[in-house]
Amino acid sequence: MSSSNDASRPASLATLCIHAGQHPDPIHGAVMTPIVLSSTFAQDGPGAHKGFDYSRAGNPTRDALEGCYAALEGAKHAIAFGSGCAATTSLLLLLKSGDHVLVGDDVYGGTFRIFDKVMKQFGIDATFLDMSDPAKVKEALRPSTKLVWMETPSNPMLKIFDIAAIADIAKKHGAWLAVDNTFATPMLQQPLALGATMAVHSVTKYMNGHSDVIGGAIMTSDDALAERLHFIQKSVGAVPSPFDCYMVLRGLKTLAVRMDRHVASARTLATWLEARPQVERVLYPGLTSHKGHALAERQMMGPGGMISFELRGGLGASAAFLKALRIFACAESLGGVESLAEHPAIMTHASLPADARRALGIGDGLLRLSVGLEDEGDLRGDLDRGFAAAKNA
Ligand code: P1T
C-alpha cells in the first residue's frame, strides 16, 4: 500500500536502471534515447552552440548514459570510456612521474599489464598487495602513494577487501581509493557510499550484460577530480561510440533483474560444486567457507554471479572439462546473459608472471565460471558433462 511519503521517496536502483539520465526526446517525444551519430554540431555563430560542439568532447547519447551511470553509483559525475582498460588508463593519467600506487594483488590480467608494463614507462610505480588485512595497506603506503586501487570481489580469486576501512586509511594519507566494481555492479555494492573516491567499471560485463559492447566508466562525487577526468576524456579521446552508449543504456534497463537471477543461480551452483568429489575448493563469497564471507555479507547486497573453483586432475582434466561443456562457452569475459567458463592461467591472466600466478593460486586446475541466466538445472547438467569428461581425461 502506498503511504503519503511515497512521492518524496528517492527512486530505487531498479527504477534508476531504467530511467536515470534519460528524458523523452524534446523534438519527437521518442521515449527511448535517440542514437545521435553526428560527429559535429552546427553552431549559430562561432562558439554559439546548444551544449555540444564535437562528439569526442560531448555527445547527447553519451550524456544520457553518463547520467545513468552516475545515478546508479550514487555519484555526482560519471565519465564514459571506450573500454574498461581505457577507463583504468585514463584514471592513471591523473598521476605523474614519481607517484606510487598500491594495487590489490588479484586483478584482471589486462589491468595488471597496464600497471606493470604501460605505466612503468612513465615513472609510475605500483606495489601489488593482498589487502585482506587493512593494516598491511597502511604499512605499505609511501609518502609518494597517491592512489590505492582494488578489485573486490577480485578477478579471478574472488577476494573481498574492506572498502570502508581501506578508504579511511587512504583518505588519512591523502591518497584516492579507486574500486573496480565490475564484478559486483552498483546493484550489489556501492563503493562511494563506503568511502571510495572513485568507482571504476568494465561495462563490457554485467552493466551492458549482453556481451556485445566493449565499454568502461569512472564514477566520482569529487567535482575537481571529475573536471580533470572529463578533460582527460576529451583530450585523450578514449570515448565510446554513440551506438555503444545506446546499447549499454538498453542493457542497463534489466540490470536489477539480471543481477537477482545471476546471484540466485550462482549461490545454488556454488553449494552444489562444493559437494563434488572432483572439486578441491570453491571460491564464492556467498559460501560460509569463503575467507571474505562475513565481510561480503556486510559490504555487499549479494555475493555476485562469478564462481572460481579448483578441479582435481591438473591441466588435462581442466581442458577436458571445458571442452565437454555445451551451454557454458569456453570464452574470456563475464557478466553476459549467457554462461561462460574459462581457464584463468591460460586465458584472462596469462599476462601475469608465472610466479605471481602461483602465489595467488591461479594454477592448472583453476576454472572460472560466469553464471548466466539459463535454467539453473540445465547449467548443473552441463557442468556434470564437464566432470564426466574430466574423470576420463
Ligand atoms: O575488457 P575491458 O572492457 O577493457 O575491461 C577490462 C577489465 C577491467 N576490470 C575487470 C574487473 C575486468 O574483469 C576486466 C576485463 N576482464 C575480462 C575480459 C575477463 O575475462 O576477466
| CA-to-CA separations, 300 to 187, 260, 351, 385, in angstroms, rounded | 9, 13, 29, 33
State how far the Cα of 217 lies from the Cα of 84, in Å rounded to an integer.
Answer: 7
C-alpha cell recorded at residue 32: 527511448
In the sheet with 145-151, reading across from the earlier edge strand, the strands are 77-81, 216-220, 198-202, 176-180, 145-151, 100-104, 125-129
How long, in residues, is the chain?
Answer: 393
Does any ligand 1 atom lie closer than 6 A to the CB of residue 204? yes
Q: Each residue of 294-349: pLDDT tens digit?
A: 999 999 999 999 999 999 999 999 999 999 999 999 999 999 999 999 999 999 99
Global pTM reads: 0.97
Under-70 pLDDT residues of the chain: 1-5
Given this model, what pLDDT does residue 8 score? Answer: 83
Instruction: Indicate which residue's Cα is closest to atom 5 of ligand 1.
Output: 84
Given this model, what pLDDT does residue 271 score? Answer: 98
User: Among 103, 182, 369, which residue has the most ligand 1 atoms within 8 Å of its CB, making it the best to mutate?
Assistant: 182
Given this model, what pLDDT does residue 94 score? Answer: 98
Q: Each residue of 123-166: pLDDT tens digit?
A: 999 999 999 999 999 999 999 999 999 999 999 999 999 999 99
Does the annotation count 146 as an active-site position? no
User: Among 89, 149, 204, which residue has the most ligand 1 atoms within 8 Å of its CB, making it the best to mutate?
Assistant: 204
Given this model, what pLDDT does residue 273 score? Answer: 98
Does any ligand 1 atom lie closer than 6 A to the CB of residue 299? no
Gap from CA of 202 to ligand 1 centroid (Å): 6
- What is the crossing angle of helices 60-72 and 242-252, to 10°? 30
Does the annotation count 108 as an active-site position? yes
Given this model, what pLDDT does residue 169 score? Answer: 98
Instruction: Indicate which residue's Cα is closest to atom 1 of ligand 1.
Output: 84
State how far the Cα of 4 lies from the Cα of 58, in Å rounded to an integer.
Answer: 40
State how far the Cα of 156 lies from the Cα of 159, in Å rounded to an integer.
Answer: 8
Any residues with CB less than 8 A from the CB of 274 and at least 6 apart, and which?
Answer: 282, 287, 289
State how far the Cα of 356 lies from the Cα of 18, in Å rounded to an integer.
Answer: 41
Given this model, what pLDDT does residue 341 score? Answer: 98
* Run of H or E residues at 104: strand 100-104
User: Which residue intervals of 98-159 are DSSP H helices?
Assistant: 109-113, 134-140
User: What does the angle CA 328 – CA 362 – CA 117 come to, to the nearest 5 degrees?
Assistant: 105
Given this model, what pLDDT does residue 114 score? Answer: 98
Does any ligand 1 atom lie closer than 6 A to the CB of residue 181? no
Does any ligand 1 atom lie closer than 6 A to the CB of residue 113? no
Given this model, what pLDDT does residue 2 score? Answer: 46
Share of the chain above pLDDT 90, in %: 96
User: Among 89, 155, 181, 206, which residue has the most ligand 1 atoms within 8 Å of its CB, making it the best to mutate?
Assistant: 155
Given this model, what pLDDT does residue 223 score? Answer: 98
Given this model, what pLDDT does residue 9 score? Answer: 85
Residue closest to 288 by CA, chosen among 280, 276, 296: 296
Domains of the chain: 13-252 (3.40.640.10), 256-391 (3.90.1150.10)
